[in-house]
Amino acid sequence: MEFLSEFLSLMDGMGVELFELVWVESVVEFFRYFGWALYGVGLVVAVFEAAMEYQAGRSNAVRDMAIGVVKGFFAASLFSVVPVELYKLCIDLHGTLSQGIAGASNTEGVSSMARAVMGSFNGYGALVALFLLVLMGYSVFKTFFANLKRGGVLLIQIAVGSLYLFSVPRGYTDGFYGWCRQVIGLCLTAFLQTTILIAGLMVCSGNMLLGCGLMLAAAEVPRIAQQFGLDTSAKANIMSAVYTTQTAVNLSRTLIAAIK
C-alpha cells in the first residue's frame, strides 16, 4: 500500500512537473498573451455595444459593460495561474492523505497484513479470487493512466480557456463559468481517485469483495462529477470556444465594414 501510494503520487507529481518544463511555460505564456489580446478586442467590442445600447434607450448599459470589463480583467489575469496552483494543491493534499492512510494500515506489521490479505482470498474460491485480482488490476491501471494524462488535459484546458476572454468583457460569462467547473472537476478528480483507491486497498485486508468495489468506485469519480456539472472532458468546451472565436471574427468584420 505504501508502494502504490508513493507510486500514484509520483504519477500525479509528473503532471505537476509538466508545468515546470521550459517549453510548457512558454506555451502557457503564449496563451496568456493570446487571452489578453482577445480581452482587448472584446473590450473594444463591448464599448461599441454599450454605446449602441445606450443610444437605444438602455440606461444600465454602461454599468453592465463596466462589470463585464472588471470580470474579464480578473479572468485574464488568473486563468493561466489558478488552475496550475489548484492542481498542485490537490496533488499535495491527496499525497499526504494517501501516505497517512497507508501508514495507518501498517500498524499491524507487514506480515500480519499479508496474512489478512491471504485470508481474504482463501475465503473465496480460486476462480472468484482470480476474478477479484483482475478487478484490482483493472482499477489500479485505469487510475494510473488517468493520472498520467491529467497534466496534459489541464494544459489543454488552459489553452481553451483563453478563447473565452473575448466574451467575458461583453457580459457573456456562461462559457467561462463552464470552463471553471471543468478545472474544478479535474482537480477534484485528481484528489479523490487516488485517495479512494488507497482506501479500497486498505479495506481489502478485511473484506476483499468490498475493497474491490471501493477500488472500482475510484474509477467512476469523473462520471459522478460530470453528473453534478463538474465535467472533466474538454470536448464541450472546445466546441463552445470555437463558436466564440467564429463570433469574434464575424463581429470584427462587421466593425471594420462599419468603420469603412
**Can you give the C-alpha Rg of the chain in angstroms?**
24
Within 13 Å, how many C-alpha atoms sit on residue 75's CB side? 32
| Closest to 143 (Cα-Cα) out of 100, 90, 200, 182 | 200
Q: How confident is the model at residue 199 (pLDDT cuts 50, 70, 90)?
A: confident
Q: CA-CA distance, 215 to 135, in Å (whole number)?
A: 8
Q: In what helix (H) or strand (E) does residue 161 lie, and over which residues does it extend?
A: helix 126-161
What tens digit of pLDDT does each residue of 103-135 get? 655 544 444 444 444 444 445 556 666 767 777
Q: What is the pLDDT of residues 144-196, one digit of tens each?
A: 777 777 888 888 889 988 888 888 888 888 888 888 888 888 888 888 887 78
- What one-character-per-residue DSSP string does 199-213 give? HHHHHHTT-HHHHHH
Assigned C-alpha cell, 200: 479500497
CA–CA separation, 92 and 94 (whole Å)? 6
